[in-house]
């Protein structure tokens, strides 16, 4: 027939097992803060030209903690991607030295010519890092007199 004690005991055991399984399976996922910086040459600071490969980037300020700063270079497509630990609004400074320009203002990297006068390109911007999102900013580098 119907055994009440056995039924209650089974329900209690199943409930305890369910709660235990739920507690151990719900691990907290790590929050990611991904930042992407794209660098392009610009004649006037508004238009976008060719991507800036090997562009030197400084993300964050010297006063920030080490995990909130980056000092690195863009890839061949002019893109730099990095992950950060926390949400932040960070300054981005970009610079590139090029030896020669072609007729339509595109840089030609001829660093093997020692006698050429270099051209300096700089740009600034900001990037806002948000939880589990990829933040993207575009930096337009304009020629800066030295």
pLDDT of residue 69: 93
Convert 77-101 to b/e letters by CB count within 10 Å (16 or more is b): ebbbeeebeeebebebbbbbebbee
| Residue (of 72, 71, 36, 76) closest to 53 by Cα position | 76
Residue spans per domain, the chain? 33-144
| Residue (of 91, 98, 89, 94) closest to 45 by Cα position | 94
The top-level CATH class assigned to 33-144 is mainly beta
Reading the block at residue 59, the tokens are 């993300």
pLDDT of residue 113: 47
* Mean pLDDT in order along the chain per 10 residues (146 residues): 71 77 67 94 88 93 88 95 94 87 58 61 95 95 86
């Amino acid at each position: 027939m119907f055994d009440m004690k056995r039924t209650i005991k089974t329900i209690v055991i199943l409930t305890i097992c369910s709660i235990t399984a739920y507690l151990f399976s719900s691990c907290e996922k790590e929050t990611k803060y991904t930042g992407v910086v794209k660098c392009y040459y610009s004649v006037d600071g508004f238009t976008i030209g060719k991507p800036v490969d090997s562009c030197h980037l400084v993300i964050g300020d010297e006063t920030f903690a080490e995990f909130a700063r980056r000092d690195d270079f863009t890839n061949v497509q002019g893109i730099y991607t990095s992950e950060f630990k926390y949400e932040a609004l960070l300054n981005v400074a970009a610079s590139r030295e090029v030896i020669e320009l072609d007729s339509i203002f595109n840089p030609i990297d001829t660093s093997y010519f020692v006698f050429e006068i270099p051209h300096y390109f700089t740009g600034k911007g900001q990037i806002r890092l948000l939880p589990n999102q990829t933040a993207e900013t575009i930096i337009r580098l304009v020629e800066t007199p030295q």
